[in-house]
Structure 1
């Protein structure tokens, strides 16, 4: 993996991909098909059949990193309506945590081929994040992909380089889940410490189990699974127990050194042997993707935003942002030198800032939760105000009908023009069409009144 990328400190993982593990963990395989019918958790059986073309292999190794990069690209690009992400080879490799090189370009071509031409049949194991039900479906993760060569050198036409532009159309069911917010933030700082695909696959699937998936329970401190089932899930086929243990040992050590696991132990013998994972307490809280996105939009670094979102609920984050906006419209704004630092302090010590707001001259401070656009002292720089940010904040909740897309676009226009802050946009989350339209109408009326 490449080092930490300051431009993207959080990656996003779709929850089904984290739980089902559709890409084999080993770096090499000769398999062109596999199947598993196993139970890892209380969410039910995992039933998957994977079939690649006869002259190819099933997705494995670095293909999982490419898949993670594609999901992150879909989020970063504002959930494209045509399910297609468009970016350069260098950008895709960066999002996948892979250093650019001639070898990486070749491996990427092969990876995209496998992800496109491999067929999956999933029985009652794919969770529909929009309809909230388990589904049976057959699909390929990539529908199609194509490149647009931008070279003026005729001898290099057709060769992939860092600047080569590529478009990848993802499966519509996968994209629908991403739009529905059925995703998980992953800390890039921790992920970048993991050097092998097997370790990164373990991190992703164990992270899901630590958070207990969609069960709604509290995050767990430990997770146990039969070793034979775990080996099948990871794609360590045809191995004896001692070989499986040797294969897992370096990954376990790396996860402990990275601070994700505190201990790994084994119990039992033969087919009854279990592997028992104990998680470090500081990593046990789940993070709401909406809270992470909101904090990042306000300038807090991705790793710090993830930690705060693991500690505080979404409503607490929204209240902190509301207080912060109120401060920016008061005389106190002249004392603010470190905006991310102040927002963090508000989140951790909200009562202190309620007192500060109460002492501001009348008319100078806006009360938290007041549902109107914040037209003064915008937090975001105008150059950073892009429509894609609105798509990320609203997490696809306004993509499913022409009317809701119209409302989203009206809100986006107000945001881009500087009339709205991120907190205003979060007020649209989970609102019905009529409620959202009334709120946007109120915003537009207030703005027209201010301009007259």
Structure 2
């Protein structure tokens, strides 16, 4: 029986550059963690259990005259997810990006050697087919897929930046890459099946193995109840299989992991790593650092982002301040704007109101006594008069969206319609999203909030 879906595991706090990590790609480990693989590595299969979510069953088949994805390919996958989000999550999955931009989104530094590796990585990822069984979680349908197969990159073109023609030579920083991502992946991203990723910390890690291990362990650093766990233990053999060391001796697995363990302890992510048992019965236990913080409340992040606070800043503030403080600051902020106050920076004003609330003690006529801000699904008086049928709400949403000064792109408009029709956001939120500093980040926070609400309201069943 399967455990709870992976989005029920909250994430570490984002403390640096905000990035994204698609949960399925991270948990299932489609890319061998080793920096190099032999020329004979043209495929692999694994059936392994690493957590309470059930077994992972995947078959990887490299394309003709190629080897399976490995090493830096994991970083490029991270970059592709970030680029897709940054470019507005287009429905057709198509993105256009320079090599320099892709490296930045992947947390990698620019140099000639890496440019060559990026090209080789994209060719491997586009040429490799994956087949899996009951392992990919469909966040849109909230179910585990029985059988599925896909290629991560469906189509690609490499263009000369000067002429726009198909590239004949080597990659450079300004080389343009046009590609189409698999619909299975893009649907998952649009459904909000993501984790925040601190790209500043991620980019400081020295090797693909270290970065891969960090992402995998980070997924296990919180329990199913959302609270940080102190330790994570797993069979060394199961861990080796999951990382791609399928037939490697246990002592060689330990030797390969040793530098990564040392670096993650030196960076303050791990407190200790210990082994127990002998031979094939060995297990490894990871002890996480005590300073790992609980995840931010998605609803509080949304309240701040809606009022102009950038997504990274909203994430930090949602951890630093209590629910009561944030709700009070948002109420005072709304009242101040209703009074006619013209804020030069709405996000800056709200941040200052959180940090220095005594500077904004309201006059009685400006801030009448109000009930606490409710969840979006139980919004204020404007929604109490909204028509009850989905068709009527859809017509209302279309009318409100048509009144915006700037049209929303198709992907955002579709998500907003769905959120409004299902009662996940109210009319005020629908009309204000266009004025947010980062509308897509705000919409993603609402999607995450709805998932949390659905999980809390759903009866406990096994998938």
Shorter-chain-normalised TM-score: which range?
Answer: 0.7 to 0.9
Q: 1:145, 1:314 → 2: CA distance?
A: 46
Residues 1:397 and 2:390 aligned together: no
**Residue 36 of structure 2: SS of its match in structure 1?**
coil
Deviations 1:382-431 (A, max 9, x none): xxx98789978x9x734879x99xx99x9888654689999997997589
Q: 1:422, 1:16 → 2: CA distance?
A: 21
Match of 1:439 in 2: none
Distance 1:100 1:115, change over 3 A: same
Q: Is the contact between residue 44 and residue 61 of structure 2 (CA under 8 Å) also seen in structure 1?
A: yes
Correspondent of 1:161 among 157, 172, 175 = 172
Q: Is the contact between residue 36 and residue 49 of structure 1 (CA under 8 Å) also seen in structure 2?
A: yes
Q: 2:311, 2:106 → 1: CA distance?
A: 19
Match of 2:100 in 1: 90
Match of 1:447 in 2: none
Match of 2:399 in 1: none
Residues 1:148 and 2:141 aligned together: no
1:206-225 to 2 correspondences below 5 Å: 206-212=217-223, 215-225=224-234
Residues 1:176 and 2:187 aligned together: yes
**Residue 283 of structure 1: SS of its match in structure 2?**
coil
Deviations 1:348-386 (A, max 9, x none): 89xx57x945x325247896748699xxxxxxxxxxx98
Give me the TM-score of the superposition, normalised by structure 1. Answer: 0.74
Q: 1:29, 1:419 → 2: CA distance?
A: 44
Q: 2:158, 2:135 → 1: CA distance?
A: 33
Q: Is the contact between residue 159 and residue 167 of structure 2 (CA under 8 Å) also seen in structure 1?
A: no
Q: 2:167, 2:118 → 1: CA distance?
A: 18
Match of 2:272 in 1: 263
Instruction: Considering Cα pairs closer than 8 Å and 6+ residues apart, tell me whether 1 or 2 has the greater RCO.
Output: 2
Residues 1:362 and 2:365 aligned together: yes
Deviations 1:116-156 (A, max 9, x none): 11011111111111111111211111111113323149998
Correspondent of 1:189 among 163, 178, 200 = 200
Match of 2:138 in 1: 128
**Residue 397 of structure 1: SS of its match in structure 2?**
helix
Deviation at 1:72, TM superposition (A): 0.9
Deviations 1:285-311 (A, max 9, x none): 234667667757845583x65444456
Aligned length: 401
Distance 1:427 1:218, change over 3 A: closer
Structural RMSD (CA): 4.4
**Residue 195 of structure 2: SS of its match in structure 1?**
strand
Residues 1:278 and 2:287 aligned together: yes
1:213-362 to 2 correspondences below 5 Å: 215-287=224-296, 298-299=308-309, 302=312, 305-309=314-318, 320-329=329-338, 340=348, 343=351, 346=354, 356=360, 359-360=362-363, 362=365
Contiguous gaps of at least 5 residues in structure 1? 1-7, 374-384, 433-452
Match of 1:436 in 2: none
